[in-house]
Structure 1
């Protein structure tokens, strides 16, 4: 059903329309600052990173010569520097930030419906008879018009569209935060993997040195006539095994370095190593229950599900608004003039209100509303599923944190005992009351104890990083 009311006169009328981690934890550096629209940070507060670590600014760079990809040197970097490089260079994070800018523009587009639209049309025409030389028959005329339209009422469609766009912007902003936290966790975990690979090389190199010392001792004893060929063979086998383990550890170290370099999108000609020492990075003070509650409050994934539910609700309102009345205001001004005709300019205007009510659409609008209602239920179910998964993550990493802290203490005691046992085994062997087998066993025990301690410390750090990611300290917003 359509209805309209117009007032028309032959004169000009001017129309005017007047139409917002807990301080008790040793928090690792994070990328969460990228969750808000990018702002120039304070240079004095940023982590300093050498420029030569940054990749070529041309994303389409394609090396064609071996010297362009040859590693020129190894640069030690800290975890803080690695996180800063990831924030600068990660393509997924850059895409997420661009999606925020796109959604921000979409909000401005939806808000344009709050204002009237104004347009101007004009034409200048010369017309005449093409088959006669009588120039008096030719004439030039001008036509111009100005239109103004404003949607006075559309049953809530306009406001629902704006709110849906604002909620989508929030979803994308939360996605930037989630991407930042995920990148931070991945870089942190990979950095710990590199630390472990470095420590494995150190431990296995120390094991080779111990095996070489034992071999020299057994060879000297054999030459002195107080040792046996069997002891020498045992030492040689032990040395060969230690050398093989060292070679494998060096290979894993190279792989770990390249994995982190790839994750950070570094320059093609630079390799990196871990500059930070292997040590506990902090203690987690809150209880398990406090940690779970904080995770529920802070996780961006839960906020995303709520925002998605709100988007579906606004889409439901948009669908139902098509069944309500639509009222708009329209104004038009026309100006006509034919030159050299001794007639003054003609003008006219019209102002009117138009209304529309869709009486029957075959059920299409309500079907779209039902789809949105189903999407709301899906978002609510996904919220519940995400909440349960977050609780499981917190409980899992909290348990791992406690067990790994106990393992650190146990492995430290075992390492001291292994060192003492190796010294005693060598003294016994040199005194002739022990065997080379005991020395070799003690050396292997020391190597295992050193590896266990490094593993316990890094497993603790990994669990702490995962727990911090699960809680997601977002600060005040």
Structure 2
């Protein structure tokens, strides 16, 4: 059903058009401060200094075609702070999240455009006659112009719901930038610890090879002196071969860890990195388990995202139902007509009126769309509960790992000192002729294992601490 109220006036003189909105009708202009400014992942004033040659080519479509373009030319030691700074600048996932945020911001501006009237101007210049072979009449030239102004006075809540849905989507993408940034920081931190562990495994296995080589020299010297046996030499040779194999595997793992972190940081094609920070405890966690869980519930952006998704569903439901309500708009038109050389002055006119329509029957489309939105609301509420439970489990898991790894650091430090003392005693006993080569080899293996256990305990503690910090901390609270 359509209805309209139209006022028309035509005159032979120019008319100035003025439109006044009815009382009680107001135009709400968007508040620029209502949308929260997203966190900027790149901080130009950061005190962390990063060499420029580590940054990738600014062209994202770069496609190397020559071997020298991808050949590693240098290994650069970097700290964890530098790695995190590089990730903020160059990580592709974070860049995509920022672009999605910019897209949502533009979508919000598109929705807010409905708060303003639309104005269009049309004009034409026409020359007409009876034909090229006829002289019965003279050709004439005319100019026609018009201006139209339209504004939706009442949309049954459709316009407000669309704007609020766009604002909630912007909030979702702001939180997504925050969540992605935190996830990138966690991944970089974890992979940096992986690289540290790979470096330490190379060092430990290289030390094991050196110890095995020293034992082999001792057994060969004893065999030549007639106080050793061929069996001892063979044992030492097998132990050396095993240690060399472990070193080879450790070097391979080190290269993989370097390239994995370099890929995460989107480094330049021709550089590789090594860990510059020493292996040590990253810090201590003071809050209790219960305090940690509450902090996680308060700060995790994932929970806020689910609430925003629920709000989007509610606004979409209102938009759908608004299609069944009345739609009233203001329409104004101004026309101008001038036929040249006809002895008549310019003709113009204007019209101002209200137009309205109500959809009496749409086949149930609007209510079906509203039902879909209600289902999306229920899904968001269910996802909120699942995310809350998962956050609690993450906190409890990493908190338990943190405590156990701290105990492992203490016990592995004691075991390392004992393994060193045992190896010294085994060598002294062997050199004095009261011990065996088997004891020395066993003591060397125990020392290698103890060193590896201590490094693993420290880095496992650091990983658990990084995960716990990620579980309870948002960028806004740092």
Common fold: TM-score over 0.5: yes
Matched, 1:70 2:71: yes
The corresponding residue for 1:360 is 361
The corresponding residue for 1:186 is 187
Q: Tell me which of 36, 39, 54 is aligned to 2:38.
A: 36
Structure 2 CA distance, aligned partners of 1:427 and 1:165? 77
The corresponding residue for 1:172 is 173
Structure 1 CA distance, aligned partners of 2:303 and 2:81? 28
Count of matched residue positions in the alignment of Structure 1 and Structure 2: 462
Structure 2 CA distance, aligned partners of 1:277 and 1:470? 25
The corresponding residue for 2:34 is none
The corresponding residue for 1:130 is 131
The corresponding residue for 1:14 is 17
The corresponding residue for 1:373 is 374
The corresponding residue for 1:28 is none
Structure 1 CA distance, aligned partners of 2:475 and 2:287? 16
For residues 365-411 of structure 1, give each alpha carbon's deviation from its aligned partner in whole angstroms, at most 9, with x where no partner exists.
Answer: 11111111111001101111111111111111111111011100110
Superposed displacement of residue 135, structure 1: 8.7
Matched, 1:100 2:118: no
The corresponding residue for 2:455 is 454
Moved more, 179-188 or 196-205: 179-188
The corresponding residue for 1:27 is none
Determine helix, strand or coil for the equivalent of 1:261.
helix
Conserved in 1, the CA contact under 8 Å of 2:39 and 2:178? no
Structure 1 CA distance, aligned partners of 2:39 and 2:350? 47
Structure 2 CA distance, aligned partners of 1:92 and 1:204? 36
Cα separation, partners in 2 of 1:459 and 1:476, compared to 1, 3 Å: closer
Determine helix, strand or coil for the equivalent of 2:330.
strand
Structure 1 CA distance, aligned partners of 2:431 and 2:419? 18
Conserved in 1, the CA contact under 8 Å of 2:303 and 2:387? yes
Output aligned runs, 1:338-353, within 5 Å.
338-353=339-354
Cα separation, partners in 2 of 1:332 and 1:37, compared to 1, 3 Å: farther
Structure 1 CA distance, aligned partners of 2:459 and 2:388? 28
Output aligned runs, 1:227-306, within 5 Å.
227-306=228-307
Determine helix, strand or coil for the equivalent of 2:475.
coil
Output aligned runs, 1:200-239, within 5 Å.
200-239=201-240
Superposed displacement of residue 136, structure 1: 5.9
Structure 1 CA distance, aligned partners of 2:248 and 2:451? 18
Contiguous gaps of at least 5 residues in structure 2: 21-25, 32-36
Structure 2 CA distance, aligned partners of 1:2 and 1:374? 33
Cα separation, partners in 2 of 1:64 and 1:358, compared to 1, 3 Å: closer
Instruction: Compute the RMSD of aligned alpha carbons.
Output: 1.8
Determine helix, strand or coil for the equivalent of 1:147.
strand
For residues 102-157 of structure 1, give each alpha carbon's deviation from its aligned partner in whole angstroms, at most 9, with x where no partner exists.
Answer: 11011111101111111111111111121456496211111111111110001100
The corresponding residue for 2:23 is none
Contiguous gaps of at least 5 residues in structure 1: 21-34
Cα separation, partners in 2 of 1:279 and 1:235, compared to 1, 3 Å: same
Output aligned runs, 1:396-407, within 5 Å.
396-407=397-408
Superposed displacement of residue 229, structure 1: 2.6
Superposed displacement of residue 63, structure 1: 2.5
Conserved in 1, the CA contact under 8 Å of 2:182 and 2:474? no
For residues 437-467 of structure 1, give each alpha carbon's deviation from its aligned partner in whole angstroms, at most 9, with x where no partner exists.
Answer: 1111111110000000000011111111111
Moved more, 204-213 or 80-89: 80-89
Moved more, 52-61 or 337-346: 52-61
Superposed displacement of residue 38, structure 1: 3.9
Determine helix, strand or coil for the equivalent of 1:151.
strand
Determine helix, strand or coil for the equivalent of 1:279.
coil
Superposed displacement of residue 432, structure 1: 2.2
The corresponding residue for 2:427 is 426
Structure 1 CA distance, aligned partners of 2:136 and 2:282? 95
Determine helix, strand or coil for the equivalent of 2:453.
helix
Superposed displacement of residue 40, structure 1: 6.9
Structure 1 CA distance, aligned partners of 2:449 and 2:41? 49
Structure 2 CA distance, aligned partners of 1:232 and 1:37? 65
Cα separation, partners in 2 of 1:335 and 1:235, compared to 1, 3 Å: same
Determine helix, strand or coil for the equivalent of 2:402.
helix
Matched, 1:471 2:472: yes
Superposed displacement of residue 13, structure 1: 4.1
For residues 17-69 of structure 1, give each alpha carbon's deviation from its aligned partner in whole angstroms, at most 9, with x where no partner exists.
Answer: 5734xxxxxxxxxxxxxx925487343x2422112222222333333332222
Cα separation, partners in 2 of 1:143 and 1:188, compared to 1, 3 Å: same
Conserved in 1, the CA contact under 8 Å of 2:151 and 2:329? yes
Conserved in 1, the CA contact under 8 Å of 2:299 and 2:477? no
For residues 229-248 of structure 1, give each alpha carbon's deviation from its aligned partner in whole angstroms, at most 9, with x where no partner exists.
Answer: 32222222211211111111
Determine helix, strand or coil for the equivalent of 1:137.
coil
Structure 2 CA distance, aligned partners of 1:9 and 1:366? 42
Output aligned runs, 1:381-392, within 5 Å.
381-392=382-393
Cα separation, partners in 2 of 1:281 and 1:442, compared to 1, 3 Å: same
Structure 2 CA distance, aligned partners of 1:446 and 1:372? 63
Conserved in 1, the CA contact under 8 Å of 2:42 and 2:89? no
Superposed displacement of residue 476, structure 1: 4.9
Moved more, 144-153 or 6-15: 6-15
Structure 2 CA distance, aligned partners of 1:460 and 1:468? 12
Output aligned runs, 1:138-157, within 5 Å.
138-157=139-158
